[in-house]
Structure 1
Amino acid sequence: MTEGAWIGARFALMIDLSLLMGLPLFWWVMGMAGRRGVLAALALGGMALSALWLMASVAAMTGTPIATPEWASTQILLTMTPIGPVLAVRGGALLLALVFAELNRPRLTLIPAAVAAATLAWTGHAGATEDMAGTVHRVADVAHIWAAAGWIGALAVLVHAMMTLRPTTAEMRRVAKMLSRFALMGTLIVATLLVSGAINGVMIVGLAQLPDLAGSLYGWLLGAKLALFGVMLGLAGWNRWRLTPLLESGTPQRAVAHLQLSLLAETSAAVGIIGLVAWLGTLDPMG
Protein backbone atom coordinates (compact mmCIF):
# COMPACT_ATOMS: atom_id res chain seq x y z
CA MET A 1 0.00 0.00 0.00
CA THR A 2 2.72 2.47 1.00
CA GLU A 3 4.84 1.48 -2.00
CA GLY A 4 1.87 2.10 -4.28
CA ALA A 5 1.42 5.55 -2.76
CA TRP A 6 5.12 6.25 -3.30
CA ILE A 7 4.93 5.26 -6.96
CA GLY A 8 1.70 7.24 -7.39
CA ALA A 9 3.26 10.35 -5.85
CA ARG A 10 6.31 10.01 -8.13
CA PHE A 11 4.05 9.60 -11.15
CA ALA A 12 1.88 12.64 -10.37
CA LEU A 13 4.92 14.79 -9.61
CA MET A 14 6.62 13.80 -12.88
CA ILE A 15 3.49 14.64 -14.87
CA ASP A 16 3.12 17.99 -13.12
CA LEU A 17 6.73 19.12 -13.52
CA SER A 18 6.87 17.87 -17.12
CA LEU A 19 3.84 19.96 -18.04
CA LEU A 20 5.12 22.98 -16.11
CA MET A 21 8.26 22.97 -18.26
CA GLY A 22 6.89 21.50 -21.47
CA LEU A 23 3.94 23.83 -21.96
CA PRO A 24 5.84 27.15 -21.89
CA LEU A 25 8.60 25.58 -23.99
CA PHE A 26 6.14 24.60 -26.71
CA TRP A 27 4.32 27.95 -26.53
CA TRP A 28 7.66 29.74 -26.92
CA VAL A 29 8.81 27.63 -29.88
CA MET A 30 5.43 28.05 -31.60
CA GLY A 31 5.16 31.77 -30.80
CA MET A 32 1.91 31.19 -28.91
CA ALA A 33 0.47 33.07 -25.96
CA GLY A 34 0.65 31.17 -22.68
CA ARG A 35 -2.06 30.50 -20.11
CA ARG A 36 -1.24 32.06 -16.78
CA GLY A 37 -3.76 30.08 -14.75
CA VAL A 38 -2.53 26.73 -16.02
CA LEU A 39 1.11 27.43 -15.14
CA ALA A 40 0.20 28.85 -11.73
CA ALA A 41 -1.86 25.75 -10.94
CA LEU A 42 1.00 23.48 -12.02
CA ALA A 43 3.51 25.39 -9.88
CA LEU A 44 1.25 25.09 -6.82
CA GLY A 45 0.61 21.45 -7.69
CA GLY A 46 4.35 20.80 -7.84
CA MET A 47 4.76 22.13 -4.30
CA ALA A 48 1.91 20.00 -2.94
CA LEU A 49 3.02 16.88 -4.79
CA SER A 50 6.62 17.31 -3.60
CA ALA A 51 5.34 17.28 -0.01
CA LEU A 52 3.22 14.22 -0.77
CA TRP A 53 6.21 12.49 -2.39
CA LEU A 54 8.31 13.19 0.71
CA MET A 55 5.69 11.71 3.02
CA ALA A 56 5.20 8.71 0.73
CA SER A 57 8.97 8.15 0.59
CA VAL A 58 9.24 8.14 4.37
CA ALA A 59 6.25 5.82 4.64
CA ALA A 60 7.78 3.39 2.13
CA MET A 61 11.15 3.38 3.91
CA THR A 62 9.78 2.99 7.44
CA GLY A 63 6.74 0.85 6.68
CA THR A 64 4.42 3.31 8.40
CA PRO A 65 1.11 4.63 7.00
CA ILE A 66 1.43 7.73 4.87
CA ALA A 67 -1.34 9.39 6.91
CA THR A 68 0.77 9.17 10.08
CA PRO A 69 4.34 9.91 8.96
CA GLU A 70 7.29 9.27 11.22
CA TRP A 71 8.60 12.78 11.77
CA ALA A 72 11.99 11.69 13.14
CA SER A 73 12.74 9.80 9.92
CA THR A 74 11.46 12.74 7.89
CA GLN A 75 13.85 15.06 9.70
CA ILE A 76 16.76 12.71 9.09
CA LEU A 77 15.88 12.48 5.41
CA LEU A 78 15.73 16.27 5.08
CA THR A 79 18.84 17.12 7.08
CA MET A 80 21.22 14.20 6.52
CA THR A 81 20.60 13.25 2.88
CA PRO A 82 20.62 15.18 -0.42
CA ILE A 83 16.79 15.14 -0.39
CA GLY A 84 16.66 18.28 1.76
CA PRO A 85 18.73 20.49 -0.57
CA VAL A 86 16.98 19.02 -3.64
CA LEU A 87 13.54 19.89 -2.24
CA ALA A 88 14.78 23.34 -1.22
CA VAL A 89 15.98 24.05 -4.77
CA ARG A 90 12.76 22.68 -6.22
CA GLY A 91 10.61 24.70 -3.82
CA GLY A 92 12.46 27.92 -4.67
CA ALA A 93 12.18 27.22 -8.40
CA LEU A 94 8.46 26.47 -8.13
CA LEU A 95 7.88 29.65 -6.13
CA LEU A 96 9.68 31.68 -8.77
CA ALA A 97 7.71 29.90 -11.50
CA LEU A 98 4.50 30.81 -9.68
CA VAL A 99 5.52 34.48 -9.54
CA PHE A 100 6.35 34.59 -13.26
CA ALA A 101 3.13 32.76 -14.07
CA GLU A 102 1.09 35.28 -12.12
CA LEU A 103 2.91 38.05 -13.99
CA ASN A 104 1.87 36.28 -17.22
CA ARG A 105 5.45 35.78 -18.34
CA PRO A 106 5.47 32.21 -19.67
CA ARG A 107 8.94 32.48 -21.23
CA LEU A 108 10.43 33.47 -17.89
CA THR A 109 8.40 30.73 -16.21
CA LEU A 110 10.23 28.22 -18.40
CA ILE A 111 13.56 28.85 -16.64
CA PRO A 112 12.60 27.95 -13.04
CA ALA A 113 10.29 25.24 -14.41
CA ALA A 114 13.30 23.62 -16.10
CA VAL A 115 15.24 23.81 -12.82
CA ALA A 116 12.36 22.21 -10.93
CA ALA A 117 12.10 19.40 -13.50
CA ALA A 118 15.87 18.83 -13.38
CA THR A 119 15.71 18.11 -9.64
CA LEU A 120 13.94 14.84 -10.47
CA ALA A 121 17.35 13.51 -11.54
CA TRP A 122 18.54 13.66 -7.93
CA THR A 123 15.62 11.60 -6.59
CA GLY A 124 16.12 8.53 -8.78
CA HIS A 125 18.97 6.19 -9.70
CA ALA A 126 21.09 9.04 -11.07
CA GLY A 127 21.13 10.68 -7.64
CA ALA A 128 22.80 7.59 -6.13
CA THR A 129 25.66 7.41 -8.65
CA GLU A 130 28.92 8.82 -7.27
CA ASP A 131 32.03 10.65 -8.51
CA MET A 132 32.49 11.56 -12.19
CA ALA A 133 30.17 8.76 -13.29
CA GLY A 134 27.49 10.37 -11.14
CA THR A 135 27.97 13.72 -12.86
CA VAL A 136 27.70 12.16 -16.32
CA HIS A 137 24.67 10.16 -15.23
CA ARG A 138 22.86 13.20 -13.83
CA VAL A 139 23.64 15.34 -16.89
CA ALA A 140 22.22 12.63 -19.13
CA ASP A 141 19.20 12.22 -16.86
CA VAL A 142 18.48 15.96 -16.85
CA ALA A 143 18.67 15.99 -20.66
CA HIS A 144 16.31 13.01 -20.73
CA ILE A 145 13.86 14.71 -18.38
CA TRP A 146 13.90 17.97 -20.34
CA ALA A 147 13.38 16.22 -23.67
CA ALA A 148 10.51 14.17 -22.25
CA ALA A 149 8.94 17.31 -20.77
CA GLY A 150 9.14 19.02 -24.15
CA TRP A 151 7.35 16.11 -25.84
CA ILE A 152 4.66 15.89 -23.15
CA GLY A 153 4.01 19.63 -23.22
CA ALA A 154 3.73 19.55 -27.00
CA LEU A 155 1.31 16.62 -26.89
CA ALA A 156 -0.88 18.41 -24.35
CA VAL A 157 -1.18 21.49 -26.58
CA LEU A 158 -1.67 19.48 -29.78
CA VAL A 159 -4.34 17.24 -28.25
CA HIS A 160 -6.21 20.29 -26.98
CA ALA A 161 -5.91 21.97 -30.39
CA MET A 162 -7.23 18.91 -32.21
CA MET A 163 -10.08 18.17 -29.81
CA THR A 164 -11.32 21.79 -29.96
CA LEU A 165 -10.66 22.26 -33.68
CA ARG A 166 -13.35 24.18 -35.53
CA PRO A 167 -14.16 22.86 -39.02
CA THR A 168 -12.94 25.93 -40.90
CA THR A 169 -10.20 26.05 -43.52
CA ALA A 170 -8.26 28.74 -41.66
CA GLU A 171 -8.36 26.85 -38.37
CA MET A 172 -7.26 23.61 -39.98
CA ARG A 173 -4.37 25.33 -41.71
CA ARG A 174 -3.32 26.89 -38.41
CA VAL A 175 -3.22 23.53 -36.65
CA ALA A 176 -1.50 21.88 -39.64
CA LYS A 177 1.17 24.59 -39.52
CA MET A 178 1.64 23.95 -35.80
CA LEU A 179 2.07 20.23 -36.44
CA SER A 180 4.55 20.87 -39.24
CA ARG A 181 6.61 23.30 -37.15
CA PHE A 182 6.80 20.72 -34.37
CA ALA A 183 8.71 18.39 -36.73
CA LEU A 184 12.16 19.91 -36.03
CA MET A 185 11.52 20.19 -32.31
CA GLY A 186 10.30 16.59 -32.29
CA THR A 187 13.42 15.38 -34.09
CA LEU A 188 15.68 17.06 -31.53
CA ILE A 189 13.60 15.61 -28.69
CA VAL A 190 13.80 12.07 -30.04
CA ALA A 191 17.56 12.31 -30.66
CA THR A 192 18.11 13.58 -27.11
CA LEU A 193 15.94 10.83 -25.63
CA LEU A 194 17.79 8.12 -27.54
CA VAL A 195 21.29 9.30 -26.59
CA SER A 196 20.51 10.18 -22.97
CA GLY A 197 18.44 7.01 -22.53
CA ALA A 198 21.33 4.86 -23.73
CA ILE A 199 23.72 6.59 -21.31
CA ASN A 200 21.27 6.18 -18.43
CA GLY A 201 20.80 2.50 -19.21
CA VAL A 202 24.53 1.81 -19.19
CA MET A 203 25.02 3.83 -15.99
CA ILE A 204 22.18 2.10 -14.12
CA VAL A 205 22.68 -1.47 -15.26
CA GLY A 206 26.10 -1.72 -16.91
CA LEU A 207 26.87 -3.39 -20.22
CA ALA A 208 27.95 -6.67 -18.64
CA GLN A 209 24.72 -6.98 -16.64
CA LEU A 210 22.31 -6.25 -19.50
CA PRO A 211 21.56 -9.97 -20.16
CA ASP A 212 20.55 -10.38 -16.50
CA LEU A 213 17.62 -7.98 -16.99
CA ALA A 214 15.67 -10.62 -18.91
CA GLY A 215 14.71 -12.42 -15.71
CA SER A 216 13.96 -9.41 -13.51
CA LEU A 217 10.93 -7.23 -12.93
CA TYR A 218 13.08 -4.19 -13.73
CA GLY A 219 13.96 -5.70 -17.10
CA TRP A 220 10.33 -6.44 -17.98
CA LEU A 221 9.23 -2.93 -17.04
CA LEU A 222 12.12 -1.41 -18.98
CA GLY A 223 11.14 -3.52 -21.99
CA ALA A 224 7.54 -2.27 -21.70
CA LYS A 225 8.82 1.30 -21.55
CA LEU A 226 10.90 0.83 -24.70
CA ALA A 227 7.94 -0.78 -26.46
CA LEU A 228 5.71 2.19 -25.63
CA PHE A 229 8.46 4.54 -26.81
CA GLY A 230 8.49 2.66 -30.11
CA VAL A 231 4.71 3.11 -30.35
CA MET A 232 5.13 6.84 -29.77
CA LEU A 233 7.77 7.06 -32.50
CA GLY A 234 5.54 5.20 -34.94
CA LEU A 235 2.54 7.40 -34.21
CA ALA A 236 4.64 10.57 -34.42
CA GLY A 237 5.95 9.49 -37.82
CA TRP A 238 2.44 8.68 -39.03
CA ASN A 239 1.23 12.09 -37.86
CA ARG A 240 4.10 13.90 -39.53
CA TRP A 241 4.32 12.14 -42.87
CA ARG A 242 0.76 10.99 -43.48
CA LEU A 243 -1.89 12.79 -41.43
CA THR A 244 -0.53 16.34 -41.38
CA PRO A 245 -0.33 16.49 -45.21
CA LEU A 246 -3.89 15.16 -45.33
CA LEU A 247 -5.00 17.98 -43.04
CA GLU A 248 -3.51 20.43 -45.53
CA SER A 249 -5.10 18.68 -48.51
CA GLY A 250 -8.65 18.54 -49.79
CA THR A 251 -9.76 15.77 -47.37
CA PRO A 252 -9.25 17.39 -43.97
CA GLN A 253 -12.24 15.78 -42.23
CA ARG A 254 -10.70 12.33 -42.56
CA ALA A 255 -7.38 13.63 -41.27
CA VAL A 256 -8.96 15.33 -38.23
CA ALA A 257 -10.53 12.12 -36.90
CA HIS A 258 -7.34 10.14 -37.47
CA LEU A 259 -5.14 12.82 -35.90
CA GLN A 260 -7.37 13.01 -32.83
CA LEU A 261 -7.15 9.27 -32.35
CA SER A 262 -3.42 9.15 -33.06
CA LEU A 263 -2.55 12.00 -30.69
CA LEU A 264 -4.69 10.52 -27.94
CA ALA A 265 -2.94 7.17 -28.39
CA GLU A 266 0.48 8.85 -28.39
CA THR A 267 -0.39 10.77 -25.23
CA SER A 268 -1.65 7.59 -23.56
CA ALA A 269 1.65 5.90 -24.39
CA ALA A 270 3.54 8.86 -22.90
CA VAL A 271 1.49 8.66 -19.69
CA GLY A 272 2.17 4.92 -19.56
CA ILE A 273 5.91 5.54 -19.92
CA ILE A 274 5.89 8.02 -17.04
CA GLY A 275 4.02 5.51 -14.91
CA LEU A 276 6.65 2.88 -15.69
CA VAL A 277 9.48 5.32 -14.96
CA ALA A 278 7.88 6.15 -11.61
CA TRP A 279 7.82 2.43 -10.80
CA LEU A 280 11.32 1.74 -12.14
CA GLY A 281 12.76 4.46 -9.92
CA THR A 282 11.71 2.51 -6.82
CA LEU A 283 13.32 -0.78 -7.91
CA ASP A 284 16.81 -2.24 -7.68
CA PRO A 285 17.83 -3.04 -11.29
CA MET A 286 19.64 -6.15 -10.14
CA GLY A 287 17.09 -7.12 -7.49
Structure 2
Amino acid sequence: MIEGVLIGARLALMLDLALLMGLPLFWRVMGMAGRGGLLVALALGGMALSALWLFASVAAMTGVSILSPDWPTAVILLTMTPIGPVLAVRGGALLLALLFAAASRPRLTAIPAAVAAATLAWTGHAGATEAMAGTIHRVADVAHIWAAAGWIGALAVLLHAIFTLRPTTAETARVAAMLSRFALMGTLIVATLVVSGTINGVMIVGLAQLPDLVGSLYGWLLGAKLALFALMLGLAAVNRWRLTPALESGTPQRAIAHLRLSLLIETSAAIAIIGLVAWLGTLDPMG
Protein backbone atom coordinates (compact mmCIF):
# COMPACT_ATOMS: atom_id res chain seq x y z
CA MET A 1 0.00 0.00 0.00
CA ILE A 2 2.70 2.49 1.05
CA GLU A 3 4.89 1.50 -1.91
CA GLY A 4 1.94 2.07 -4.25
CA VAL A 5 1.40 5.56 -2.84
CA LEU A 6 5.11 6.33 -3.31
CA ILE A 7 5.06 5.14 -6.92
CA GLY A 8 1.86 7.11 -7.56
CA ALA A 9 3.37 10.25 -6.05
CA ARG A 10 6.50 9.86 -8.20
CA LEU A 11 4.37 9.32 -11.32
CA ALA A 12 2.19 12.37 -10.68
CA LEU A 13 5.18 14.56 -9.81
CA MET A 14 7.17 13.51 -12.89
CA LEU A 15 4.18 14.10 -15.17
CA ASP A 16 3.44 17.49 -13.58
CA LEU A 17 7.03 18.76 -13.90
CA ALA A 18 7.31 17.39 -17.45
CA LEU A 19 4.22 19.32 -18.51
CA LEU A 20 5.34 22.45 -16.67
CA MET A 21 8.55 22.46 -18.70
CA GLY A 22 7.36 20.85 -21.92
CA LEU A 23 4.27 22.97 -22.58
CA PRO A 24 5.96 26.41 -22.61
CA LEU A 25 8.92 24.94 -24.49
CA PHE A 26 6.66 23.68 -27.27
CA TRP A 27 4.66 26.90 -27.28
CA ARG A 28 7.91 28.81 -27.78
CA VAL A 29 9.04 26.55 -30.63
CA MET A 30 5.64 26.89 -32.31
CA GLY A 31 5.36 30.64 -31.67
CA MET A 32 2.17 30.13 -29.67
CA ALA A 33 0.97 32.42 -26.87
CA GLY A 34 0.35 29.68 -24.32
CA ARG A 35 -1.93 29.55 -21.28
CA GLY A 36 -0.58 31.04 -18.07
CA GLY A 37 -3.45 29.74 -15.93
CA LEU A 38 -2.60 26.13 -16.74
CA LEU A 39 1.04 26.70 -15.80
CA VAL A 40 0.01 28.30 -12.50
CA ALA A 41 -1.95 25.15 -11.68
CA LEU A 42 1.00 22.93 -12.66
CA ALA A 43 3.45 24.97 -10.53
CA LEU A 44 1.18 24.73 -7.52
CA GLY A 45 0.68 21.04 -8.26
CA GLY A 46 4.44 20.54 -8.35
CA MET A 47 4.74 22.01 -4.86
CA ALA A 48 1.93 19.89 -3.45
CA LEU A 49 3.16 16.70 -5.13
CA SER A 50 6.71 17.29 -3.88
CA ALA A 51 5.33 17.40 -0.33
CA LEU A 52 3.31 14.24 -1.01
CA TRP A 53 6.42 12.50 -2.35
CA LEU A 54 8.37 13.49 0.78
CA PHE A 55 5.72 12.11 3.13
CA ALA A 56 5.32 8.97 1.01
CA SER A 57 9.10 8.46 1.17
CA VAL A 58 9.03 8.84 4.96
CA ALA A 59 6.15 6.38 5.19
CA ALA A 60 8.00 3.86 3.00
CA MET A 61 11.11 4.17 5.15
CA THR A 62 9.39 3.88 8.52
CA GLY A 63 6.41 1.69 7.68
CA VAL A 64 3.95 4.13 9.26
CA SER A 65 0.86 5.56 7.61
CA ILE A 66 1.29 8.58 5.38
CA LEU A 67 -1.62 10.14 7.28
CA SER A 68 0.42 10.16 10.50
CA PRO A 69 3.95 11.03 9.35
CA ASP A 70 7.05 10.24 11.37
CA TRP A 71 8.15 13.86 11.77
CA PRO A 72 11.62 13.14 13.23
CA THR A 73 12.46 11.04 10.15
CA ALA A 74 11.16 13.79 7.88
CA VAL A 75 13.37 16.32 9.65
CA ILE A 76 16.38 14.01 9.25
CA LEU A 77 15.71 13.65 5.52
CA LEU A 78 15.42 17.40 5.08
CA THR A 79 18.43 18.41 7.16
CA MET A 80 20.92 15.53 6.90
CA THR A 81 20.45 14.19 3.35
CA PRO A 82 20.53 15.77 -0.15
CA ILE A 83 16.72 15.70 -0.21
CA GLY A 84 16.51 18.98 1.72
CA PRO A 85 18.65 21.03 -0.71
CA VAL A 86 16.97 19.33 -3.70
CA LEU A 87 13.50 20.28 -2.46
CA ALA A 88 14.69 23.81 -1.66
CA VAL A 89 15.98 24.30 -5.21
CA ARG A 90 12.82 22.77 -6.66
CA GLY A 91 10.60 24.93 -4.46
CA GLY A 92 12.42 28.10 -5.49
CA ALA A 93 12.24 27.17 -9.18
CA LEU A 94 8.53 26.37 -8.90
CA LEU A 95 7.88 29.67 -7.16
CA LEU A 96 9.66 31.54 -9.96
CA ALA A 97 7.72 29.56 -12.56
CA LEU A 98 4.51 30.45 -10.74
CA LEU A 99 5.39 34.16 -10.82
CA PHE A 100 6.21 34.06 -14.54
CA ALA A 101 2.98 32.23 -15.33
CA ALA A 102 0.88 34.58 -13.18
CA ALA A 103 2.51 37.59 -14.87
CA SER A 104 1.34 36.33 -18.28
CA ARG A 105 4.86 35.33 -19.34
CA PRO A 106 4.13 31.65 -19.91
CA ARG A 107 6.98 30.96 -22.35
CA LEU A 108 9.57 32.19 -19.82
CA THR A 109 8.20 29.61 -17.39
CA ALA A 110 10.18 26.94 -19.24
CA ILE A 111 13.46 28.15 -17.69
CA PRO A 112 12.66 27.70 -13.97
CA ALA A 113 10.52 24.69 -14.88
CA ALA A 114 13.59 23.07 -16.46
CA VAL A 115 15.47 23.60 -13.17
CA ALA A 116 12.60 22.06 -11.21
CA ALA A 117 12.45 19.06 -13.55
CA ALA A 118 16.23 18.59 -13.35
CA THR A 119 16.02 18.08 -9.58
CA LEU A 120 14.35 14.72 -10.25
CA ALA A 121 17.80 13.40 -11.20
CA TRP A 122 18.90 13.75 -7.56
CA THR A 123 15.96 11.71 -6.19
CA GLY A 124 16.51 8.53 -8.21
CA HIS A 125 19.37 6.16 -8.96
CA ALA A 126 21.52 8.96 -10.41
CA GLY A 127 21.48 10.75 -7.08
CA ALA A 128 23.11 7.76 -5.39
CA THR A 129 26.03 7.49 -7.83
CA GLU A 130 29.24 8.99 -6.44
CA ALA A 131 32.37 10.79 -7.70
CA MET A 132 32.88 11.55 -11.43
CA ALA A 133 30.60 8.67 -12.41
CA GLY A 134 27.84 10.35 -10.44
CA THR A 135 28.34 13.63 -12.28
CA ILE A 136 28.17 11.90 -15.66
CA HIS A 137 25.13 9.92 -14.55
CA ARG A 138 23.26 13.01 -13.37
CA VAL A 139 24.11 15.01 -16.50
CA ALA A 140 22.74 12.17 -18.63
CA ASP A 141 19.67 11.86 -16.42
CA VAL A 142 18.93 15.59 -16.64
CA ALA A 143 19.23 15.43 -20.44
CA HIS A 144 16.89 12.42 -20.42
CA ILE A 145 14.37 14.25 -18.23
CA TRP A 146 14.45 17.40 -20.37
CA ALA A 147 14.03 15.45 -23.61
CA ALA A 148 11.13 13.48 -22.16
CA ALA A 149 9.51 16.71 -20.94
CA GLY A 150 9.79 18.20 -24.42
CA TRP A 151 8.06 15.17 -25.94
CA ILE A 152 5.33 15.10 -23.26
CA GLY A 153 4.60 18.81 -23.71
CA ALA A 154 4.45 18.47 -27.49
CA LEU A 155 2.10 15.50 -27.25
CA ALA A 156 -0.23 17.39 -24.93
CA VAL A 157 -0.48 20.39 -27.28
CA LEU A 158 -0.82 18.26 -30.42
CA LEU A 159 -3.42 16.02 -28.79
CA HIS A 160 -5.50 19.06 -27.83
CA ALA A 161 -5.09 20.54 -31.30
CA ILE A 162 -6.16 17.41 -33.16
CA PHE A 163 -9.15 16.69 -30.90
CA THR A 164 -10.45 20.26 -31.24
CA LEU A 165 -9.68 20.44 -34.94
CA ARG A 166 -12.49 21.42 -37.29
CA PRO A 167 -12.04 19.96 -40.79
CA THR A 168 -11.60 23.29 -42.58
CA THR A 169 -8.74 24.12 -44.93
CA ALA A 170 -7.26 26.77 -42.64
CA GLU A 171 -7.52 24.65 -39.49
CA THR A 172 -6.06 21.51 -41.04
CA ALA A 173 -3.21 23.52 -42.56
CA ARG A 174 -2.42 25.02 -39.14
CA VAL A 175 -2.30 21.65 -37.37
CA ALA A 176 -0.36 20.06 -40.23
CA ALA A 177 2.21 22.86 -39.95
CA MET A 178 2.52 22.17 -36.21
CA LEU A 179 3.12 18.49 -36.87
CA SER A 180 5.70 19.23 -39.56
CA ARG A 181 7.58 21.76 -37.43
CA PHE A 182 7.73 19.25 -34.60
CA ALA A 183 9.68 16.86 -36.85
CA LEU A 184 13.10 18.45 -36.20
CA MET A 185 12.40 18.90 -32.50
CA GLY A 186 11.24 15.30 -32.31
CA THR A 187 14.43 14.05 -33.98
CA LEU A 188 16.58 15.89 -31.43
CA ILE A 189 14.43 14.57 -28.59
CA VAL A 190 14.70 10.95 -29.73
CA ALA A 191 18.47 11.19 -30.25
CA THR A 192 18.88 12.67 -26.75
CA LEU A 193 16.67 9.99 -25.20
CA VAL A 194 18.58 7.16 -26.87
CA VAL A 195 22.04 8.45 -25.91
CA SER A 196 21.17 9.52 -22.37
CA GLY A 197 19.08 6.40 -21.77
CA THR A 198 21.99 4.19 -22.81
CA ILE A 199 24.33 6.02 -20.43
CA ASN A 200 21.80 5.75 -17.61
CA GLY A 201 21.34 2.04 -18.19
CA VAL A 202 25.06 1.36 -18.13
CA MET A 203 25.50 3.48 -15.00
CA ILE A 204 22.64 1.83 -13.11
CA VAL A 205 23.13 -1.79 -14.11
CA GLY A 206 26.61 -2.07 -15.63
CA LEU A 207 27.48 -3.96 -18.81
CA ALA A 208 28.68 -7.04 -16.95
CA GLN A 209 25.42 -7.30 -14.97
CA LEU A 210 23.04 -6.98 -17.94
CA PRO A 211 22.46 -10.78 -18.18
CA ASP A 212 21.37 -10.75 -14.51
CA LEU A 213 18.31 -8.65 -15.45
CA VAL A 214 16.75 -11.58 -17.32
CA GLY A 215 13.85 -12.88 -15.28
CA SER A 216 14.07 -10.12 -12.63
CA LEU A 217 11.27 -7.67 -11.94
CA TYR A 218 13.57 -4.77 -12.80
CA GLY A 219 14.47 -6.43 -16.09
CA TRP A 220 10.83 -7.04 -17.05
CA LEU A 221 9.85 -3.46 -16.25
CA LEU A 222 12.82 -2.09 -18.17
CA GLY A 223 11.90 -4.30 -21.12
CA ALA A 224 8.33 -3.01 -21.02
CA LYS A 225 9.61 0.57 -20.98
CA LEU A 226 11.80 -0.06 -24.05
CA ALA A 227 8.90 -1.77 -25.87
CA LEU A 228 6.64 1.22 -25.20
CA PHE A 229 9.38 3.59 -26.37
CA ALA A 230 9.67 1.59 -29.61
CA LEU A 231 5.88 1.84 -30.01
CA MET A 232 6.08 5.63 -29.60
CA LEU A 233 8.83 5.83 -32.21
CA GLY A 234 6.76 3.80 -34.66
CA LEU A 235 3.67 5.96 -34.14
CA ALA A 236 5.72 9.16 -34.46
CA ALA A 237 7.11 7.90 -37.78
CA VAL A 238 3.62 7.08 -39.05
CA ASN A 239 2.39 10.52 -37.98
CA ARG A 240 5.28 12.24 -39.73
CA TRP A 241 5.47 10.32 -42.99
CA ARG A 242 1.89 9.16 -43.61
CA LEU A 243 -0.75 10.95 -41.56
CA THR A 244 0.58 14.51 -41.73
CA PRO A 245 0.79 14.46 -45.58
CA ALA A 246 -2.70 12.94 -45.63
CA LEU A 247 -3.92 15.78 -43.40
CA GLU A 248 -2.63 18.25 -45.99
CA SER A 249 -4.56 16.53 -48.78
CA GLY A 250 -7.96 17.52 -50.04
CA THR A 251 -9.87 14.95 -47.91
CA PRO A 252 -8.40 15.12 -44.40
CA GLN A 253 -11.33 13.56 -42.46
CA ARG A 254 -9.84 10.07 -42.39
CA ALA A 255 -6.38 11.42 -41.52
CA ILE A 256 -7.86 13.36 -38.60
CA ALA A 257 -9.45 10.20 -37.18
CA HIS A 258 -6.22 8.23 -37.56
CA LEU A 259 -4.15 11.04 -36.03
CA ARG A 260 -6.47 11.22 -33.04
CA LEU A 261 -6.08 7.50 -32.42
CA SER A 262 -2.32 7.55 -33.03
CA LEU A 263 -1.66 10.52 -30.73
CA LEU A 264 -3.93 9.08 -28.06
CA ILE A 265 -2.02 5.79 -28.08
CA GLU A 266 1.33 7.60 -28.16
CA THR A 267 0.35 9.78 -25.19
CA SER A 268 -0.94 6.76 -23.26
CA ALA A 269 2.36 4.99 -23.92
CA ALA A 270 4.27 8.04 -22.66
CA ILE A 271 2.26 8.09 -19.43
CA ALA A 272 2.81 4.36 -19.02
CA ILE A 273 6.56 4.86 -19.46
CA ILE A 274 6.58 7.52 -16.74
CA GLY A 275 4.71 5.11 -14.51
CA LEU A 276 7.34 2.43 -15.17
CA VAL A 277 10.13 4.91 -14.46
CA ALA A 278 8.43 5.83 -11.18
CA TRP A 279 8.31 2.14 -10.26
CA LEU A 280 11.86 1.40 -11.41
CA GLY A 281 13.17 4.24 -9.25
CA THR A 282 12.00 2.39 -6.14
CA LEU A 283 13.72 -0.90 -7.03
CA ASP A 284 17.22 -2.25 -6.66
CA PRO A 285 18.32 -3.36 -10.15
CA MET A 286 20.26 -6.26 -8.66
CA GLY A 287 17.63 -7.07 -6.04
Stretches of structure 1 lacking an aligned partner (at least 5 in a row): none
Aligned match of 1:210: 210
User: Relative to structure 2, which stretch is displaced further, 99-108 or 231-240?
Assistant: 99-108
Aligned match of 2:43: 43
Q: Which runs of 4+ in 1 moved over 4 A?
A: none
**Is 1:60–2:60 an aligned residue pair?**
yes
Deviation at 1:240, TM superposition (A): 0.2
Aligned match of 1:92: 92
Aligned match of 1:157: 157
Stretches of structure 2 lacking an aligned partner (at least 5 in a row): none
1:164 is aligned with what amino acid? Answer: T
State the alpha-carbon separation in 1 of the partners of residues 251 and 130 from structure 2: 56
Aligned match of 2:21: 21
Give per-residue Cα distances to partners, 1:137-162, cap 9 Å, x unaligned: 00000000000000000000000000
Indicate conservation of the 8 Å contact 1:26/1:150, yes or no. yes
Aligned match of 2:277: 277
Aligned match of 1:144: 144
State the alpha-carbon separation in 1 of the partners of residues 21 and 179 from structure 2: 19
Q: How many residues align?
A: 287
Give per-residue Cα distances to partners, 1:189-209, cap 9 Å, x unaligned: 000000000000000000000
State the alpha-carbon separation in 1 of the partners of residues 65 and 217 from structure 2: 25
Indicate conservation of the 8 Å contact 1:18/1:153, yes or no. yes
Deviation at 1:107, TM superposition (A): 2.3
State the alpha-carbon separation in 1 of the partners of residues 80 and 2 from structure 2: 23
SS of the aligned residue for 1:286 comes to coil
Give per-residue Cα distances to partners, 1:76-100, cap 9 Å, x unaligned: 0000000000000000000000000
Indicate conservation of the 8 Å contact 1:34/1:104, yes or no. no
CA RMSD of aligned residues (A): 0.4
State the alpha-carbon separation in 2 of the partners of residues 48 and 155 from structure 1: 24
Give per-residue Cα distances to partners, 1:240-287, cap 9 Å, x unaligned: 000000000122001000000000000000000000000000000000
State the alpha-carbon separation in 2 of the partners of residues 251 and 98 from structure 1: 43
2:108 is aligned with what amino acid? Answer: L
1:52 is aligned with what amino acid? Answer: L
State the alpha-carbon separation in 1 of the partners of residues 282 and 104 from structure 2: 37
State the alpha-carbon separation in 1 of the partners of residues 258 and 79 from structure 2: 52
Aligned match of 2:266: 266
State the alpha-carbon separation in 2 of the partners of residues 64 and 10 from structure 1: 19
1:77 is aligned with what amino acid? Answer: L
Indicate conservation of the 8 Å contact 1:165/1:172, yes or no. yes
Deviation at 1:167, TM superposition (A): 1.6
1:154 is aligned with what amino acid? Answer: A
**Is 1:128–2:128 an aligned residue pair?**
yes
Aligned match of 2:179: 179
Mapping for residues 107-122 of structure 1, pairs under 5 Å: 107-122=107-122
Deviation at 1:108, TM superposition (A): 1.6
SS of the aligned residue for 1:32 comes to coil
Give per-residue Cα distances to partners, 1:223-243, cap 9 Å, x unaligned: 000000000000000000000
State the alpha-carbon separation in 2 of the partners of residues 214 and 103 from structure 1: 51
SS of the aligned residue for 1:116 comes to helix
State the percentage of identical aligned residues: 84
SS of the aligned residue for 2:136 comes to helix
1:4 is aligned with what amino acid? Answer: G
